Structure formats: structure tokens, C-alpha cells
Amino acid sequence: MNGVGEREASDSAAESISSELLINVIRTLTTTVSNDQRQLEKQRIEQCYRQSEQNIDKLLKEHRSDALHCLSTFQSVSKELTSSREQIRNIKSSLSLCKTFLQCRRDDLNKFWLENAQQKKVCDILQQIQQIKKIEKTVDVQLANGEYKEMIRVLKDADVLLKGPFDKMEGISQLKFVVSENLQKVFGQIVNDLLQCVFVEPFEAQTLEAVKSGKMVESKIGAALIERYPKKKLVALNDEGALRLRLAELLQSLLVFGQVDKALDEMFDRMPNLFLRLSNGAAEVVKQSAGGERSAGERDASHLAKFVNIAIAQMSFASRNFALLSLELQQLSHQFLPNCQPIMKRFWHIVQVGFEEILAEYLLVWRNKKDGNDGAGGGGVQKKALFSFENASFVSSVNASSRKKQFCVVCTPDIYNVVAIFHKLSALCREVESQLGEDCCYLSVYLQTFVAEAFLEQIRVDLERQTESVLNGADLWSSMSDVPPHTQRILSCCVRVFELCERINGYIVSMEPYALRFASFWLLILEHFIKGFSDKYFQIVMLRQVHADGGWADYPKLSAAWVVDEDISRLLMSLPSWSAVKKSPFSPDQIQTPFAADVVNLANILGESEQEIRERTQRESEILIGNLGTQKQPKSSELITSMDHIKALACLHESLQWFVGKMRALVDGLSSRAKELTKTRIQITTSGNGGTLIDQMLCEAIAERINTLEKLSDNLLLILHLELRFHCFFHLITITQNQSALSLLSQDEIDRDVMEFGRDLSQFHATLHAHLSPTKLKYLFDGLGYLCSSIFIHSCQYLTKLSEMGRKRICRAIFSVQKYLSQLSGRPETELQRAQIFFDFLNKDLDQLFATIVERGAVFSFVEYSILLSLLIRSHSTLNSQPGVLEAATNQLRDILSHQQKGKPNQKPISMVGTEAANFSLITHVIFDLDGVLIDTERHYTTANERAMEKFGSKFTRELKLMMMGRKKSEAVPLLLKDAGLAGRVTSEQYMEEYDQHLKQIMSTLTEELPGATKLIDHFYAQNIPLAICTGSDSEEFGDKMRKFDKWLQKIPIRVLCGSDPEVRNGKPHPDAYEVTMGRFVSKPVSPKNVLVFEDSINGVESALGAGCSVVMVPQREFLPKDWPEKELRSRANFAALLDSLEHFCPKPFGLPDFRLREGGGCRG
């Protein structure tokens, strides 16, 4: 076999070579153009054929036996094939016979099969009908096990059969009814389960939490809930994955029958009543946790707050489950429910409407609606509701009124209940709006409408009624209340009014968005309070006088008249005594009441000596003496003599001060948002001017009312202060002023007057001690010794003469007064020894008196020595008839005092506060500086210089300002450029041109007069005192400044303008300016000391002092250097006073006519 294979392989190889050769030959013959080539190829072919022929012959010889064997084999095979074909034909014939037989048998079998199939079909139908009959039991079992998928499959199969193959079958209507009934049962159960999952279980779970927190586990409600919700089930309620699977199963079950929309509608239709029932259960829990009893006030509202907390927690928990339901529905909506309504919107609408109905029960909305419509319509006609629920989507056949009657309330229904729950309701509204993507939800609209239309109006009505009740109750103005930690008792009316304000503050804290409206109620209360207080105040301080024609008029009593005068009250309140009581350095424990401390150690205890008290109260006594010491004795009717009225004033003051402090604390304690809301501008009707409407920020209006009350409180204290001193005048002037009384009255009668004085002050002290703080009591009684001493001294000037016996009587009276005052104040009251010394001097002759002054120094002022000299000479039997003795003695006294004044250069200079000005020469002429004294221009100069310096690349500093003040512009500008480093780069002309441009723009519109300027000029002009202005301005600047003040120029004819006056060679601080000014007076002053100069700058003061004038400095302190030489200036001769304003100037100490207060004259500034 190997040899055969090799041969076959060689043969195939040969054939392959031959084939390739043949192909090459053919290709060559067809492609070769040359005949020679073709001939060559032809020869090669012939040679190959010959070779092939030889090979074939060789092969035939070699394979002959094989070829013969093949032929033999072929013949045998051919015979066998012929035999097989015959056999096949026979088999075919047999098969044909079999086929015919099988066809006959098939027909028979087909007949039998058809008959059997019909019988089987009938059996199947009967079996299916039987299964449908048993479906009710199957559904019950599967419902009990919660196998919704299997149950729905069975029902679906039955439904398919009854609506498909069995649709036209007769006699199965009962089956259809059974299937339909079970479908409804399953549908209802699925809806119940949906409600249970997404609504009932969240509500009951939160109620159970309230039960546990309220320790109501053993109650009927608590036991039922604990049994229904074991711990595992409570844990499962928070499993969102399990809940979603459960919801998906229920929705898929509903989707099989296409009942999803219908089930949701059914569920939402049942939710309103279910919401009320579940909320009622929560209310029962809260009510039982509170002991089943209703309390009042805040306790009631706290129960409602607990209930609202539970309700909000229930709704929030349920909203989470409804959100999961919404997610599952969204997945179904894309495939099967393209028109599904938003679940969350429907849920929140229903619970908001239901919650609104519950809130209406607690907030008395229904009652308010009924009361508000009492006057409309006839009987039996239903009235229109304020907040109607009748058209809400959840209304069922049960009437809303019957549901309210069955609803359990946890507290007394009251419109004020909204305060305790407003924050919680607002938080719920924000949650609803965030979930729904709305700007304002249904509940928010209801809440805002209720607050705006019902609650705020009710508060306004109640506040007006309560405020009127408080302020009109007579007992409330007399009854007192303890208000810890305040040491003094407070009037009950103030306490009650503050309680109303505090209640408003509680409303602001609880309902901050309405802070503006609530704060306006503060304004309402304060207006009523101010009016009621003013009425009470005028009942005390007004004096009714009957006229000759039978009419009558009310006049303020003396102390009230002083306090009403703004100039007087401002002056008195600017004195050190008032500052001391407003900012007392002593604690109440440090301030000893009379009879409580040893007199010797009292100064050490208080840290304030009698000398310090005198320095603090001296100026006040001088003002009182200047106004009352030269008048007739005050009438008893002009004084407040009733101690009940004094007590009322003291109580009113303490109560008002307490009220103001408390109100300021309330206002300051407002949150930042509430404060911003109160900055809104509102229309306010003023109490005066016929009720004018003004536009004002609410916070400013409230602060203004509080300041009004504070001012009233201060006025009350000032009235008490003045009243005590007026009583001193009333009693003491009687003893000294009436010379007939001194000569005719017995000593017992004078002692009786002194005893009346002591009794009056003791009653004052007892009354005030019981109702004022120790600090204020000390303020009232401090300085009485010096005042009484001054009254004794100054009242002597109207005595014709004084006998030795009269002098002794007065000295005895002084001693008694000192004893009474010492008992009250707990101090020796050594100031009254001044009066003793004064009357002891009456025993001396003139030479002895002058020798004592020279030896011991001046004890009294020049005015008091003048009174002493006058009385001494009038009482002397010889001197009283000699002409010129008084004038000579007065001149000698002036020389002695002047000599002593010069010998004491370090003595404290004259000041408007606390020292005398009588040692100065009589003032006959007055010169005013302009800028900073009469008109407020210094700041404008500063602004113009700053702009000019900025233009030239430099800064205008405080030091440069001080250097320029008072100087001529031509002198000041070169110094300015030099000090600023601009001397080489900017010329004086360039700088003045830039400066004048800016200054002119400012001066034309912004120049204003300073306080007190017009008053002082008018006063001096009316008294025919020559006036002049001496200013460093030039004529052009002066004209720009004075455009608004032509009235001054008519009264001040002399003006020296240093900036352009050729006679003034050197400006301030050189004396040239004032020397030139004095030389231009028509009536020349006797001495420069008789000229009073008002200056504001140090340069101007130096100029005036250099000219020898008397100087009052009225500086603008912001323009003074920190190290300005105050002490050095005060020590200079002729430096008269240092004032903060022209309003504080008092002319009398300078020998100038005093301002007129009332009949008799007096100083007000």
C-alpha cells in the first residue's frame, strides 16, 4: 500500500508539473510576438509529448493486473445492484399496501379522539367553575396572610375566564357577583393597607411617643397603642426600604385591575375624617397627661403647644411616607399611569384644611365669626363664615359642626392661643412650602389672615381697654407694689402698664414677623401712659385762681413754672449736683440716712466733705438767691404744701424711672431682625397740633416717647428739689426780711417760725425717705446749709436797720436751723456758720471789719460784703446820717479785695460754675469774636483747608488748625505753607485762591448761628450796651458769612475785620485787634477791664488778655489741643469764665443786667 501511495503521489506531482508546463507554453505562445520564440516553444512541447507517451506506455505495462482486477470487480458489483433494485420494487409494493391500511386505521382513531376531547373540555370547565366557587375562601385566607400577588393572580384568572370564554355562558351570574364582590373586598383592603402604611401608622406612632414621654403607658390609650405597636414594628416603621417594597406590592396589585387612581381617590376621600380622629386621639393623650383638668393662662397654652408639636410630628412623619408613595407612583406613571396627580400636593392640602379646622376650634374663629355677624340677617339664616370650611374637599356627609362638638380640646379656646403655637405653625408652613415648591401654602395664608384680621385687632382693642382701666383707676395711682430687685416700691399703675408692654414683647419674641405691628402697640400704650401721667401731674402742680370777673384759670405752681421753662431746667440740669445724682459715685449702702451714722465719721464713710458738697451746690444756690433772694416772700399758694402731693411726686418719679429703664431694656433686648423691622417708616398721628400726620421710623417714635417719660421723671425730681428749696425761702425770709416783725415779734414767735421750718423739712424728709432712693434723698438735701446761710445773708439787704436784740434773735434762729438740718442730713452743716459770722460782723465798726478782712482774708463775696456794709451803716446811730459814708466804705472794700486778689495769683479764677464774678470791674462794653462764637464756621474753615491742602498733595492736620485760629489770613497762610512743607512749591496767592474757592461754596449754604448768640446780642442791645465784632476775616469773607445775619449787623455797628483793616498791623494773638476795636467805640470804656470779650480760640484769648480786656472763653473743644493750657489761662488776670456755650452765660456777676425770668428778674444762663 505504501508503494501505491508513493506512485500516486509521484503521478500527481508529474501531472502538476505537466500542467504547469502546459500553462507556461500557452502563456508564451499567446504573449510572444517573436516567431523564433514560438518555434522554440513548439519544439519543447513536442519533446514533452513524446516523453509523456513513453511514460504512459510504461505505466500501462506496470498496472495491467490492477486494471484487470478492477474490471472484474465492476462486473460483480453491477450484478448485485440489479438484484437489489428488484428487491426494492417488492418492498415499495408492500409499503403501499401498508399505507392504505394505516389510513383506514387513522380515520377510525381520529373519530374516537374527537369524541374524547369534547368530554375532557367539559370536565375542565366544570373544574374551573368549581374553583371560582371556592375563590371567596381562598381570598379570605390570602388576605389574612397578606399574599396580595397570589390573591390578585387568582382573581385575575377568574376575571379573565368570566369576561372571556365564559362571557356568553348562561347560568353563571352568581359566579360573576362573587368575583366582583371579592374584587371590591380586596380593593378595600388594599386601600386600608395604603392608609395604614402612609397615614395611620405614622400618626399613631407619634402619639405613642407622646404617651411614653407623658408617662401614660398604663392608660387605656397607652395600653392599646403599645399592644398594637410592639418594639419590632416601631423599628420597622422607620425602614424605608421595607416600606417601599410594601407600597410597590400594593400598587402592583392595584395596577393589575387598573384601580390605582380609584384607590388613591378613595384613600384621600377617607383621610379628612381619619385625620380628625387621629388628631383627637393625640388631644386625648395630651389632656390625660395634664391630669385631665384644664388650667389657665400659660399652662393652657403649653398644653396646646404640646398638642401642636405632636400634630406637626405626625404630619411630618406621614409626609415622608407619602413622598415614598409618590416615588413609587412616579415609576409606575412612566409605564402605566401617565395622568397620575401629584400625591404630595393632595396630601398637604387635606391635612392643612383639617388642621385649619382644629386650629379654628382653639383660636375661637367660629365664635368670632358668630359675634361679628350678630347684627346682620334674620333669625334662622346661616351667617357667612370668616374662615369657611364648608367647601373644603374633605367634607363628608357628617356635618362639620357635629365633628367640632365631638372634638377633644386640650385647653380653653382663646384667640391668644396663637402666640404659643405661632413659631411651630410657621415652621410647618415653611416645611410645606419647601416640599411643594410654593411661595405661600394654604395654612400660611390662613395663619396670616387670622393674625392680620382677627388677632392684631383683638390685641389692639384689649390693650386700649386694659390701658384705660389701669390709668383711670384711682387706686392704681396710690397703691404701691414691690418689684424685686428694685429697692423702692413702684406705683401699681406703672407696674400694670409695664406688664402690658412686657406682654407685647412676648408677642414680638413669639411672632417675630409681626414685630412692626406689635411694636406699634408699644407706641399706643406709651401715648396713653404719657397722657394719663400728664393729667395726674397737672392735678398736683397746677394752681386754680379765680378772677375778679368770676372766671378762673390754672397756673403752674412756682417749682413747676421753673421746670417748664426750658432755659431754667437746662441750666439746673447742667450743674454738678444734677450730674452727681444721675451718675452717683456712691452705692445705696454707702449713703447714710440721718440718725444712722456718727457725724464725726460721716465724711470718711461718704468720701465727700462739706466743702466738696458746697463746691458742688454753690452755683445752684447763687442762681436761686439771684432769683428769689431779692423778691418778696413766696406765697403759700405758690408752693406744694400737701405731703400727699409730695409723696405722689416722689412715687411718680421713682416709678417712671423704673418704667423707663425697663422699657429701654425691652427695646434693646429685641432681636436684630425685630430691630430692623421697627426701622420702618410709618404714619403717626401726633397728640398736638390737631393730630397732624407725620412720617417717622417706629423705633424713633418709641425712643422719643421713652425719652419724654424720662424727661418727665427728671422734671419730677427737679420739682421736688426746687420745692424743698422754695420752702426754705418761704420760712426763712419771714425771719429776716420783715423788720417790723423783728422789732415787734417776741422771741417765742420767731422760734415758732423756726420750728415750723423744722417741722416742714422733717415732713419732707420723712415722706421722701420712704419713697426715694438714698442717692436722690442725698441730692435733695445736699447744699441746704449753704442755701439757708445765703438766704439769711441776702435777705438782710432790705432791712432798714438791725438792732442788737434783732441780731441775737436771727443768730438764735440760725442756730436752730443748723440743728434741724444737722438732724436731717447727719452732717454738722457748718455752712450756716457763715451766716453766724456775717451777723457777728455787725458788732464791729468799719475799721475793725476792714482790719479783719485784711488780717484773715475775704470770707464773703464782694456782693455779700456790700450788703453787710450797707446794713452796718444803716443800723449805726451816727453813720446812717452821714452822706457818702457807704460809697467811701464800698470803695475801700473794693480796694482791699482787689489788693488781696492781686496778691494771690494762683487763686482759682472766676468761672460760671462755682465761683464769684463780683470782684471784676463793672462791664460796660462787649466785643464778640465771630467764628466759633456767634456762627459755626470753624468746621467749614477746616473743610476748605483740607480740600485746598489735598489739591497741593498735603494734609491739613489738627496742629495746623490750632496754629491758624484767630490769625489774619495774610499771616496764617505763609506759616501754614511753611509748616506743611509747601513753602517752595506753592505761593500764598495760589493757596488763598484755592482756599477761597472752596470756602465760598461752603459758606453760602452751610453757615449756622451757635446756640445763645441771638439771645445774648438781643439782651445787650436792649440794655444799650455798646457792641462790636472783632474777627480775623477780611471784608469779602465777612460779607459771605453774614448774609443770613443782617439782623445782627443792625445791632452791632462796630466791626473790625483784621484781614483787611489797615489799622490792625498784627493779627491775633497780638493785642492790636482788640486795641483798635476798643478805640472805635463812640463812648470809650474807662478801662480795658470794663470790656468783656467772648473768644473761642487760644490765640484770640491771648490777644484779648494782652489788650487788658476781661475774657469769657467759649471754645469748641474738638478744636482744642489735648495739652491746651487750661490751668495757665485760668490763672491769668482778667480771665473771667470758661463756658461750653453762650447759653450758659450769666450777666449778673459781671455787673450786667440780668435776663428776665419773671417779675423781679433773674439769671437763666
Catalytic residues: 929, 931
104 to each of 93, 107, 108, 110, 111, how far by Cα in Å?
18, 5, 7, 10, 11
Give the separation between CA 1106 and CA 923, rounded to whole angstroms.
Answer: 17
The residues, any chain, with a CB within 8 Å of residue 1054's CB and separated by 6 or more, are: 1026, 1027, 1028, 1029, 1077, 1080, 1081
CA 1079 – CA 888 distance, rounded (Å): 31
What is the torsion angle, in degrees rounded to the nearest 10, for the CA atoms of residue 692, residue 694, residue 698 and residue 703?
-70
579-613: buried (b, 16+ CB within 10 Å) or exposed (e) per residue?
A: ebbeebebeeeebbebeebeeeebbeebebebeeb
Cα separation, 801 vs 659, whole angstroms:
54
Q: What angle do CA 284, 289, 291 make, to 5 degrees?
A: 100
Encode 1127-1160: b = buried (16+ Cβ within 10 Å), e = exposed.
eebbeeebbbbbbeebbbbbbbbbebebbebeee
Distance CA(629)–CA(798), nearest Å, equals: 10
Q: Is residue 1088 within 8 Å of 1100, Cβ to Cβ?
A: no
The H or E element containing residue 1027 is strand 1027-1031
How big, in percent rounded to 5, are the helix, strand and coil portions of the chain? 70, 5, 25
By the 8 A CB rule, do 262 and 255 touch?
no
In this structure, the number of other CB atoms found within 10 A of the CB of residue 788 comes to 28
End-to-end CA gap in the chain? 157
d(CA 292, CA 832): 75
Rounded to whole angstroms, the Cα distance separating 305 from 291 reads 16
Query: In angstroms, rounded to a whole number, what is the distance separating the alpha carbons of residues 477 and 494?
Result: 9
CA separation, residue 439 to residues 314, 348, 436, 444, 1008 (Å): 23, 14, 9, 10, 53
In the chain, the amino acid numbered 709 is L
Which of 915, 918, 906 shows the shortest CA–CA distance to 616?
915
Collapsing DSSP to helix, strand or coil, 925 comes out as strand
CA 941 and chain centroid, separation: 40
CB count in 10 Å sphere of residue 230: 10
- What gap in Å lies between CA 1163 and CA 765, rounded to an integer? 29
As beta bridge partners, residue 1057 has: 1031
Task: Classify strands 925-928 and 490-491 as parallel, antiparallel or unpaired.
Answer: unpaired
Which residue type, as a one-letter code, is found at position 431? E
**Bridge partners, residue 1110, by sequence:** 1092
- For residues 621 and 742, the answer to whether their CB atoms sit within 8 Å is no
H or E segment and range at residue 683: strand 681-685
Alpha carbons 303 and 285: distance in angstroms, whole number: 10
Helices (H), 440-514: 442-450, 456-472, 492-510
